[in-house]
Amino acid sequence: MDLELAGKSVIVTGGASNIGRAITLGFAREGARITIAELDSAQAEKVAQEALKLGAKDVQVIKTDVTNMDQVKAMVDAAASRFGGIDALVNNVGWDDLKFFMQTTPDFWQKIIQINFVGMLNCTYNVLEHMIKAGNGGSIVSISSDASRQGEPREAVYGAMKAGVNSFMKTIAKENGRHGIRCNAVCPGVTIPEEEEEVSSNSMWSNRTAMFSEEQFAAIAKSLPLRKLGRPKDLANAVVFLSSRAAGHITGQVLSVSGGYSMIG
Ligand SMILES: NC(=O)c1ccc[n+]([C@@H]2O[C@H](COP(=O)([O-])OP(=O)(O)OC[C@H]3O[C@@H](n4cnc5c(N)ncnc54)[C@H](O)[C@@H]3O)[C@@H](O)[C@H]2O)c1
């Protein structure tokens, strides 16, 4: 299947670590021109070198805090100017620290809201401006979470923000379909890096046993219909497909890539 992504201009936020890294490398294999928008620019530069070796036509790293509207606007303008427009955006940045709701504080809620929701709004707004003006259509994929669909203990505010992501993507899919712009969400379940060096300094997985003990990882895997945890490339395959012409009639969808953890319908 020709995904027709060669030479396309793609932005991946948080594209240096775990799932975002695999998405960057997935687009690289298709010969895309990639902008990695990241807080950890040192790790992003390493991933950029890997992407070039795998076949990316060009890669630029732009140090960006997606929660800062001015930085996002500058990053999006730079992507459009270097690569002649923007064909696809992947809103991949996300963050959580697993705590029961009654152990959290309003400052913690604000951090979760900013990183998981406002960052996605900032990037989507600026990219839509370019896509609508250019008139060539495009794709926006936001990385959500199965916590948005299931109600996960210790992920109350995070799950609520990711449910907001799902709803937002459906609305902008309806608003922008007439411009040929497709908007979808992808929900990972627990998705762990293959190697320690696949994660950035800010990664939720830089200390993976702070998230779950090894016994808990094994129990989660056993509970899933496919009996295995997710790997970053599982998510990258779905995201690259949804961003491509091969998914040209798919919009407003929320796709779980989680070994069967949630089944909606
Ligand atoms: N890994 C999982 O088990 C899992 C499960 C469900 C959903 N998700 C979602 O998948 C996405 C990727 O998860 P991951 O495990 O690869 O995360 P990760 O923590 O390994 O990587 C996130 C990357 O985002 C960057 N980042 C964080 N805040 C940023 C900001 N404000 N501006 C720019 N960059 C920023 C970090 O530097 C890091 O490189 C997230 O949206 C996450 O919520 C992950």
253 lines ligand 1 (CB under 6 A): no
Residue 210's pLDDT is 84
15 lines ligand 1 (CB under 6 A): no
Kindly state the tokens that stand for 55.
């076949």
Residue 66's pLDDT is 98
Catalytic residue numbers? 144, 158, 162
Amino acid in position 214: E
Q: Where in the chain are the domains?
A: 9-257
pLDDT at 265 over 80: no
pLDDT in tens, 3-62: 999 999 999 999 999 999 999 999 999 999 999 999 999 999 999 999 999 999 999 999
Kindly state the tokens that stand for 192.
């762990």
pLDDT in tens, 179-220: 999 999 999 999 999 888 899 998 999 888 888 999 999 999
Q: Which atom of ligand 1 is nearest to the CA of 115?
A: 31
Q: How far apart are CA 136 and CA 150, in angstroms?
A: 36
Residue 209's pLDDT is 83
pLDDT at 91 over 90: yes
Q: Name the closest-CA residue to atom 13, ligand 1.
A: 19
212 lines ligand 1 (CB under 6 A): no
Q: How far apart are CA 156 and CA 92, in angstroms?
A: 19
Please give the full DSSP string across 38-85, using - where no structure is assigned. ES-HHHHHHHHHHHHHHT-SEEEEEE--TT-HHHHHHHHHHHHHHHTS
Residue 264's pLDDT is 84
Residue 50's pLDDT is 98
pLDDT confidence tier of residue 238, bands split at 50, 70 and 90: very high
191 lines ligand 1 (CB under 6 A): yes
This prediction has a pTM of 0.98
CATH class of 9-257: alpha beta
Q: Which atom of ligand 1 is nearest to the CA of 68?
A: 31
Give the Å distance between the CA of 205 and the centre of ligand 1: 9
23 lines ligand 1 (CB under 6 A): no
Q: How many residues does the chain have?
A: 265
